[in-house]
Structure formats: C-alpha cells, structure tokens
A and B are shown apart, each in its own frame.
Chain A
C-alpha cells in the first residue's frame, strides 16, 4: 500500500516537474480515436516517439467505445469541445468538410502531388479542391481466410485461386447430417458481414461490371454483370449447397469455431483469429476470375485536423499528423495493429508483401477500390434485403437486383441532392 502510494506520489511529482519545465513553451494537443486495444497501444507508442522528438508538444489521447464514437465526435467537434487531431472513418469525411469542421492540410507540409505519388491511389478520395483534408496511417482490404485443418481433412491441396475453384473446394469442405442440415459450411456467406463489399467492389467488377458511375453517385449494377455476380453469390447456397446464410449466427463465429472451411474478411480480423485455440488458418488473395482478373475493397480510417486547432496548436497538430502518416509510423501500426501501411513504399517492401499473413491483403491493395458511401449501413442493408427477398419471398434475381438498385439510388439521391 505504502509502496503504491509512494509510487503514485513520485509519478505525480515527476509529471508535475515535467509540466513545469515545459510550461514556458508547451503546447498540448488532443487526439481522439475509438477504443480498440491494439490501436490504442500503437498510438501510445507513436505519441511517445513523437514527444521524444518534439519535447515542447504534449499529445493527450482520448478514446471511447466504437459504439459511441461517431455520435460523440459529431457532438463534440461542432461544440468546440473536441480534439485537435481526430480519427474519422473515410466515409464520414464529406460531412465534416461540408460543415467546415475539418481544416484542409497545408499544401507546403502535405504536398498534394507528393501524396498522390506516394500513397495508395484510393487515398485520393480525401482530396478536395486541390488539397488533402485527411490522411490515413493504415488501410484495410479483404482476403480469403481458410481453415488448414479442414483442408487437410478433406484432402484439398491448397486454397482456391479462381472463383470456379472456390466452388469446388467449398463442396469438398461442406458437411451435412443425415437429414441434410448443414453442419459445416464450405464458405461462410452473409451480406451483413464483409460480403457486401466483396459483392460490390469484387464480384460485380470481376463479372465485367462497374458498380457505380458518376463518382459513386449513380447505381450501375443492374447490368448483366450485376446479375451474373448476384447469381454466382446466391448459387453458393441455392445451387451448390456449400453455405447457409446466417449459419451459426455470424460468419466469423462459424470460422472461429472451425465449422467453416473458408471465410472472406478484412485484415482487422487477423488479431482476433490469432488468439483462437485449436484453429489453424491461412489466408490468400480473393479468388480471381478464370482469366485472372481480381478486384478488392479497401477502407481506412483517416486523421484530420479539426477547426478547433488554431495558432501554435495548429502547427503542433500539423507536425503530429506528419509523424503519424510517416513511413516509420506505418510500420509500427502494421506490427502492433496488423493494419496495412497506406504507402506502397512501406507496404510493398519485400518482407511485408511476402508476409504469410499480411501479404495477401497488401497485394490486394494494388487492385482495390474504395466505395464512397453516402450511408454505409443503409447501403449495406440494401444488399442484405436484396438477398433476403430472393431467399424468403421467392423474388427473382433480376427483380430483386432492380429493386436494390432503386433503393440504393434513393439513398444516394437523398444524400447528394
């Protein structure tokens, strides 16, 4: 007890002296992100490095649960109570720029031409009127996770390379009980998870389509390509019987429990799969078409400077943002969080691109697209309902696809009007 007390007093004293010694020219800036253990640890490490290099700047990090994050940020920043540097989902940025809550990054420290050249191309979505408004430390993409133990058991040599192989491998991995109920799926499906991204930016493009035109403001998947993509996706369950949507409640739960042979998910899933006892898994790129065409979806969280930061706080925020989007920061983020570097110069190093776990995701970035969502959860719901109508109400694929397109177009029109 007394030892703890002494330690607390000591810590308090040293903190006080630190504060006092810096008081003359100290700048304190606030940084907000949502709580995810690894992200917080990585950011603590980055802040420590940054403060060591810039002794006159203190960065305080605040984090709260993801469920509250968006609302709290949205309530705090307009009230002027929020952070100086904030982490936002890329899809939210437009609203923040329109409301003038995010400042453009100064062109001399963040040269747009250099960023265009150095970052992965999807980061270009953060540019408006010739300036960048925010930059990511890390990006995410999708890949195909597979259960190596189930592959061995079924005598399958390796993960599928193409969509046709995917079906064959999935068939070999599916198990049914005497009554025909599926007890192990070949591949998990469910538009509620990451499949709506796979469908939107992956399958539709692979079947020769272009999901949206007009900078993601016009729906464009009622084409033959869209129909073929939807047929491929729903056939997995209806024709090939290698999956059941909603199997074991959630796709990643089925995969974690070793009841699913394959599972499409994002790089952020790596951390939670690593800790699962008895699960042996591998990961590979999303399957290609017969002629080798691949497509992927990428999303990211960006860091921006809010309108609250002014004067020396603004300068300090710029410096901090420069550091957390540097090559060094990206490598730390990859090592600690497992999210992919936003620059090819870090991501596509020999070691990273050939890494057994991260490699498939990093290679996927080269052909990834980033959807500009107006309302991601509503647009996901459109696809969830599209598949549900064919399952539960017996609607034909083309009718359901047409209705989905109309529903999504309405969401886009309401947003961009």
Chain B
C-alpha cells in the first residue's frame, strides 16, 4: 500500500488507467491475439486435429502457391469485392440521395430498405436459392417460361453463379448503407446549398462540387466496411451452394469457404491456417489503406 501512496498523481492515474484497461486487454489477449498467434504457428505445421502437430516449414505456403484452386478462389474473392463494393455503393447512394428528397411515406420506404439487413443471411440465401431454381419450382425461371423465354441457369453455371450469389448479398447490405448515406447527407450544412442556389448552379454541379466532396468520410467508411464484408463473404455462398460448396467447379468459392472446407471437411488444419494467414494479410492491407485515406483528410 505504501508503494501506491508514494506515487505521484500522474503515476496513480496511469495505474488506474491500466486497472480499467486490464479487462479488455486480457479479453483481447486471450480471445483474439492468442488464437491469432496460434493460427500463425499452425500454418507452419501439419495437424489433423487428432494426432500430434509436426513442423512443416513453409510447405503449406508452397502448396498454396501451387494450388490452382487457391488462385481460382483468390480471383473469386476479389470478384466479390470488385463487383460487390461499387455496385452496392452506387445503388445505396442513388437510393439515399432520392429518399432524402422524398417526404411521402419516407419512414415506410426507409424501413423497407432496411428490412433485408435485419433478416438472417441463412434464411435469405435459401429463399434466393429457390428463386433461382429451374422450372417447375424456381420463381424467376417460371416467370421466364410463362412468357416463352428460355430458362436461365442461374446457379448451375460457371459464369452466372457468382453474380447470382452476390445479388442477395448486395441487397442485404443495402439498407445499412442507405441509412449511413442519409445520415451523411443530413450532416452537410444547408448553407452550402443555399449559397449554390443564390449563385444559380445546376444540380450536377451541386452534386459533384458540394455533396460528394463533403460525403467523403461517409464514402470511405462505407467502402472500407463493405470491402471487408465482401472479402469475408461466406454465409450466402455456403447456403446457396450447400450441395456443391462453392460450386459449380469452384466458380463461387470465396477464400473463407475454402478455409472452412480445408479445416472442417479435410481436417488439414495447417493448410487451412496458412490460408487464414493469407486472408488476414489481405484484410490488414485493406485496413491500412483505410487508415491512410482517413488520415489524409
């Protein structure tokens, strides 16, 4: 106790700060950092969960580099990112921009857009999966067939399957992005718009010179959040392709699904951990870019 009494006020503050920080630090240490560290270690080992772990050196990474499925999956993961993020960004901005100007049934419409975000991804994926089936059960193909158009293979196709799986994922995230965009739009001071009105500039100039530049923090936030979301896409793909996970012919398989499959179907923990480290690195780079963009403001 005397030890504590002899401390300066500044030092006492530090002690107390650490005392309060201890719980989150412990939590992060045990629940986050320890398993992360273990995963990195396992990525240099061979382990089937049952026997002993044996050192494998860089073997898992070499295997990954030479695995054509990994590169296919890598491309898929970035296809989800590079299609999903711009499309959802554009859609949500257009919706938010017009919804913001609308007074009639504003709350109800906003609720409609937000509903999918609150729905379970699993339930949604299954409903969409059935929408996409061929005749006689698929909604879309039944509609096409009823007007005499040939059926479209949505999921059983190497080209259509990825966009088909992505569509409900974009739709599900839309509500959240619309809400964020609307908050961003509301935060822009009206005085800018009034000044623009006095000067008599057109709507395009207002949009590109006032609205978009002032929305930059909102846009960066949404881009980063949805990028991470699309890089980690799993539940939509897994549930829409359970019989042939990530199929057909790996056309829809994202990295997280490959990790899951390697770990819990193949029980090849070392190889799965190596894939996890790669995903971790990608996410880290994306996050660092985010920090850089936010700082430059």
- Cβ of B249: which chain A residues have Cβ within 8 Å of it? 385, 388-389, 392-393
CB distance from B66 to the nearest CB of A (A): 11
Q: Please state if A95 and B48 are interface contacts (CB–CB under 8 Å).
A: yes
CB distance from B191 to the nearest CB of A (A): 57
- Is A249's CB within 8 Å of the partner chain B? yes
Out of B129, B136, B264, which one reaches A183, CB within 8 Å? B136
- Cβ of A192: which chain B residues have Cβ within 8 Å of it? 243-244
Q: Please state if B135 and A99 are interface contacts (CB–CB under 8 Å).
A: no
Known: A249-B130, A385-B249, A392-B158. A378 touches B266 (CB 8 A): yes
- Is A342's CB within 8 Å of the partner chain B? no
Which residue, B49, B50, B150, B248, has most C-beta atoms of chain A within 10 A?
B50
| Residue of chain A at shortest CB distance from B48 | A95
- Cβ of B127: which chain A residues have Cβ within 8 Å of it? none
CB distance from B201 to the nearest CB of A (A): 53
- Is A109's CB within 8 Å of the partner chain B? no
- Is B265's CB within 8 Å of the partner chain A? yes
Q: Please state if A375 and B244 are interface contacts (CB–CB under 8 Å).
A: no
| Residue of chain B at shortest CB distance from A392 | B158
Q: Please state if B136 and A77 are interface contacts (CB–CB under 8 Å).
A: no
- Is B148's CB within 8 Å of the partner chain A? yes
Q: Please state if B50 and A377 are interface contacts (CB–CB under 8 Å).
A: no
CB distance from A82 to the nearest CB of B (A): 11
Number of A-B contacts (CB under 8 A): 85
- Is B151's CB within 8 Å of the partner chain A? yes
21 contacts between A and B (CB under 8 A): A98-B51, A183-B135, A192-B243, A245-B156, A246-B134, A248-B136, A249-B130, A249-B133, A249-B243, A375-B265, A378-B265, A378-B266, A384-B248, A385-B248, A388-B248, A388-B249, A392-B156, A392-B157, A392-B158, A392-B249, A393-B158
Q: Please state if A181 and B135 are interface contacts (CB–CB under 8 Å).
A: yes
- Is A74's CB within 8 Å of the partner chain B? yes
Q: Please state if A177 and B135 are interface contacts (CB–CB under 8 Å).
A: yes
Out of A177, A247, A248, which one reaches B145, CB within 8 Å? A177
Question: A residues bordering B, Cβ < 8 Å?
Answer: 70-71, 74-75, 77-78, 95-96, 98-99, 101, 177, 179, 181-183, 190, 192-193, 244-250, 259, 375, 377-378, 381, 384-385, 388-389, 391-393
- Cβ of B247: which chain A residues have Cβ within 8 Å of it? 381, 384-385, 388
Question: 10 more A-B contacts (CB under 8 A) besides A177-B135, A388-B249?
Answer: A74-B49, A179-B150, A181-B134, A183-B135, A193-B243, A245-B156, A246-B155, A375-B266, A378-B266, A384-B247
- Cβ of A75: which chain B residues have Cβ within 8 Å of it? 49
* Bound complex: CA A246 to CA B156 (Å): 8
CB distance from B111 to the nearest CB of A (A): 31
- Cβ of A248: which chain B residues have Cβ within 8 Å of it? 133, 136-137
Q: Please state if A190 and B243 are interface contacts (CB–CB under 8 Å).
A: yes
Taking CB atoms and an 8 Å cut-off, the chain B residues in 153-194 that contact chain A are 155-158
Q: Please state if B51 and A181 are interface contacts (CB–CB under 8 Å).
A: no
Q: Please state if A392 and B145 are interface contacts (CB–CB under 8 Å).
A: no
| Leading 9 A-B pairs by shortest Cβ distance | A99-B51, A192-B243, A99-B50, A377-B265, A74-B49, A181-B135, A388-B248, A183-B136, A246-B156
* Bound complex: CA A248 to CA B132 (Å): 10
* Bound complex: CA A296 to CA B243 (Å): 23
| Residue of chain A at shortest CB distance from B132 | A249
Q: Please state if A244 and B158 are interface contacts (CB–CB under 8 Å).
A: no
- Cβ of A389: which chain B residues have Cβ within 8 Å of it? 249
* Bound complex: CA A208 to CA B116 (Å): 54
- Cβ of A378: which chain B residues have Cβ within 8 Å of it? 265-266
| Residue of chain A at shortest CB distance from B151 | A181
* Bound complex: CA A378 to CA B244 (Å): 11
* Bound complex: CA A392 to CA B156 (Å): 8
| Residue of chain B at shortest CB distance from A70 | B264
CB distance from B252 to the nearest CB of A (A): 12
Q: Please state if A74 and B135 are interface contacts (CB–CB under 8 Å).
A: no
Known: A248-B133, A249-B133, A259-B136. A101 touches B145 (CB 8 A): no
- Is B78's CB within 8 Å of the partner chain A? no
* Bound complex: CA A95 to CA B135 (Å): 44
- Cβ of B117: which chain A residues have Cβ within 8 Å of it? none
Known: A177-B145, A375-B265. A250 touches B158 (CB 8 A): no
- Is B74's CB within 8 Å of the partner chain A? no
- Is B267's CB within 8 Å of the partner chain A? yes
* Bound complex: CA A250 to CA B130 (Å): 11
* Bound complex: CA A77 to CA B133 (Å): 42
* Bound complex: CA A179 to CA B136 (Å): 12
- Cβ of A183: which chain B residues have Cβ within 8 Å of it? 135-136
CB distance from A66 to the nearest CB of B (A): 13
Q: Please state if A179 and B145 are interface contacts (CB–CB under 8 Å).
A: yes
Q: Please state if B137 and A392 are interface contacts (CB–CB under 8 Å).
A: no
| Residue of chain B at shortest CB distance from A385 | B249
CB distance from B270 to the nearest CB of A (A): 12
- Cβ of A381: which chain B residues have Cβ within 8 Å of it? 244, 247
Q: Please state if B50 and A77 are interface contacts (CB–CB under 8 Å).
A: yes
* Bound complex: CA A244 to CA B158 (Å): 17
* Bound complex: CA A259 to CA B136 (Å): 9
Q: Please state if B145 and A181 are interface contacts (CB–CB under 8 Å).
A: yes
Taking CB atoms and an 8 Å cut-off, the chain B residues in 131-153 that contact chain A are 133-137, 145, 148, 150-151
Which residue, A183, A193, A245, has most C-beta atoms of chain B within 10 A?
A183
Q: Please state if B129 and A249 are interface contacts (CB–CB under 8 Å).
A: yes
CB distance from B234 to the nearest CB of A (A): 15
* Bound complex: CA A200 to CA B107 (Å): 58
Q: Please state if A384 and B136 are interface contacts (CB–CB under 8 Å).
A: no
Contact digits for B38-55, partner A, Cβ 8 Å, 1 yes 0 no: 000000000011111000
* Bound complex: CA A378 to CA B131 (Å): 28
| Residue of chain B at shortest CB distance from A100 | B51
CB distance from B275 to the nearest CB of A (A): 15
CB distance from A183 to the nearest CB of B (A): 5
CB distance from B233 to the nearest CB of A (A): 20
* Bound complex: CA A96 to CA B130 (Å): 39
| Residue of chain B at shortest CB distance from A245 | B156
Contact digits for B209-234, partner A, Cβ 8 Å, 1 yes 0 no: 00000000000000000000000000
- Cβ of A385: which chain B residues have Cβ within 8 Å of it? 247-249
Q: Please state if B151 and A74 are interface contacts (CB–CB under 8 Å).
A: no
